[in-house]
Every structure is written in C-alpha cells, then in structure tokens.
Structure 1
Amino acid sequence: MRKVIAVFNMTLDGVCDHTAGIPDEEIHKHYTELLNQADVILYGRITYHLMEYWRPYVKNPSGEKSMDDFAQAIDKIPKIVFSNSLKNIEWESATLASGDLKEEVLKLKQQSGKDILVGSRSLIIQLMKLNLIDEFQLCVYPVVAGSGLPLFENINSRIILKLLKTRIFSGGSVILYYEPVRSVDNLDV
C-alpha cells in the first residue's frame, strides 16, 4: 500500500504563507528529488493556482538550475486537483478529481506505485480528520511571520506524532519528518 505524505512549508510560528518562506537552492533541490520519487501530488484549488507559477519556467527557464529543475519536476508529476468550483484545468499533467477526497485517496493508496504527496493545506486538514495521512514532512523556515493562516486549524481532536528524523538545511530551515501515532483514541470509526 502506498503512503500518503503531507508536504508543506511553514514559518516557525506555524503560518503557511508561501511568501514568508526563504526557499533557496538547497530546498529547491530537496523538493525536486521528492517530486521525482512520488507518483502523484494532490492539490486543492488555491494551491493548484499558486503552483501554476512554475509553468512558464518549463518553456522559458530562469537560468537558475535548481529553480528550473524544480519547474520541470512539478510540471511532470501528475496532479489531482480537488475543487468544487473549477470546471476545467489547463495544465496537461493535472486532472480534476472525479470522486470525493476520501474515496479517491483510498483508491490511490490501494494501487501499486510510489508515494502520494499532499501539498495543499485544506487537503492536509481534511485528510488528518480522516486519518489518511501516513507521514508529515514539514519544512519550517527560520521566520516568525507574526500573523497569517496557520497550517493546523480546525482540528477537533488531539493527534500525536512520532518524530522519524530531521533534515537541517544550511540556510537554517529544518524538515521535520513525523508519522501519526495510530491509537484507538485517534481513529474515526
């Protein structure tokens, strides 16, 4: 069974604002490798539109290798977009989800292949509530945003995580790798 991995960037105070982080060459390389090791990434409408930023770099590279490599990787990986308002998608490697989140993810998990990434805050929260996330990879930037949208919001029950490992980048960012501790108290039945 494939793993569902929640992958997200946040500030030290838990804010998930793409403009607050300080991605560098090392972080771009990390995410390029991660995308190349997965079979699919799941997005909500808002994050999907944010990631479309990278599309022009495929045809018109920036000249910065790590950014251009990331653009190629994000362009290549199949994307499934969960949205109630989008009717069509222009990105060739993206499709709109045909079913609800739970049934789509359960179906993907049963298929053979590489991991399933989740790169959207709203989907991470929904999948947490459904106990369908197998691992969290949270990149914490050494920035205090002071305000903004928290990654973990509207979680109604305590979720215990076990630290698997960490990765420290030279710029001060840290990726924390966690897995949820599955217990009777944490399961929705």
Structure 2
Amino acid sequence: MGRLIYSGIVSLDGFINDATGNFDWAAPDEEAHAFVNDLERSAGTYLYGRRLYEVMTVWETVPQLPDQSPVMLDYAELWRSADKIVFSTSLSAASTPRTRIERHFDADAVARLKQDDERDISIGGPTLAAAAIAAGLVDEYRLVVCPVVVGGGTSFFPDGVRADLGLLDEHRFPSGLVFLRYAPRR
C-alpha cells in the first residue's frame, strides 16, 4: 500500500510563491536537492493540478540542457520515470509521457490508488492537496522551509483545511533550509 505524501518548498511564512508568483527564492542548494531526491525515490506517481504540472514539465527536458549537475539529472530521471495524473478541467492533453488527465479530483479513486500501489504517491499544489487533506487521504507532509519571508503569495496550506500533525523527522542544512516531516495524528 502506498502513502499519499504532500510535499513542497515553502518560505518561512508558509508560501510556495510570493505575491507576484515568483519562487526563485525556493531553489535548493545541491545538498538539499540531493536530500529531496532521496525522499522522492519512493514515489511512483505524482498528482498535480494544471499549473504545477506545467511548471514541472521542465524536468522532461533537463537532460538535454547543457551543464546540468548530477543532482539535477538525478531528479529529472526520477520525475520522468514516475506516472503523472493531472487534475484539470482546461488542459486538453498531456505534454509529457506517462501522464494522464483527469477532469476532477475523486477521493475514492485516489484512495483506491493508494490501496493498489506499492509505491508512494506524491501530491503537489495547495488546491489539489486541500481536497486530499479534507478527505483524510494525506499520510505524510514534507516541507523544506527556506529562510526567507515573502509576505504573501500562495499558501502551502490553504484556508479551510485542518490537520493535527505529529513531527516524524527534521533535518537542518548549513544553508539555513530546514526539512520537516509530519504525519496526521489519528
């Protein structure tokens, strides 16, 4: 049985981007990126909304770009080898292999996916994650907290969801990034 894991890189004040949509402050250094890569190895499927999927498609072409670090190439391979399910009412077709489009989030279908999949499932984006959190489907929360306050933007945890969590793990990086891993208290 796979776990549903909600993860993201966030500012200290809890945003995944700033008020203008910028997230260049969230680029992890090589050490933190390698750490995240190791966490991502358990994921066999990524669940995305349209906007995050469109951002993530860059990983399809990273191996063809010049001067990519081994850490970047490693993540690109992890991303390319995973299945992707994109929840979108506006996207007509997927632009990457191993990707299918679903028109609406179906909590029962995701629960079945968790039950049937031996590998973990990663869910990305606060809007999509809110539906999974509300349905009680998220098994783990993974945050990489950046030492920056951006003052507004898109919140990692959207309004209207509640999850009482217990800390499972933490890791501090010399760069000031902090990894936090939580699970729901059930």
What is the TM-score with the length of structure 2 in the denominator?
0.89
Which residue matches 1:185? none
Alpha-carbon contact 2:49-2:87 (below 8 Å) kept: yes
Which residue matches 2:182? 178
The match for 2:113 among 105, 108, 127 is: 108
The match for 1:140 among 130, 133, 145 is: 145
Alpha-carbon contact 1:35-1:77 (below 8 Å) kept: no
Distance 1:81 1:94 in 2: 7
Of 62-71 and 165-174, deviating more is 62-71
Aligned runs of 1:39-188 on 2, under 5 Å?
39-97=44-102, 100-156=105-161, 158-182=162-186
Is 1:8 aligned with 2:8? yes
Q: CA deviation at 1:56?
A: 1.8
CA RMSD after TM alignment: 1.7
Distance 2:103 2:150 in 1: 36
Q: CA deviation at 1:61?
A: 4.7
Residues 82, 120 of structure 1: alpha-carbon distance in 2 compared, 3 angstrom cutoff: same
Give CA deviations for 1:72-126 in whole Å, capped at 9, x if unaligned. 2212211111111111102012211366331221111110411111122211111
Gaps in structure 2 of 5+ consecutive residues:
18-22
Alpha-carbon contact 2:88-2:103 (below 8 Å) kept: no
Which residue matches 1:27? 32
Of 62-71 and 82-91, deviating more is 62-71
Of 36-45 and 20-29, deviating more is 20-29
What is the TM-score with the length of structure 1 in the denominator?
0.88
Aligned length: 181
Residues 9, 23 of structure 1: alpha-carbon distance in 2 compared, 3 angstrom cutoff: same
Distance 1:61 1:180 in 2: 42
Distance 2:117 2:58 in 1: 31
Gaps in structure 1 of 5+ consecutive residues:
183-189
Distance 2:97 2:140 in 1: 28
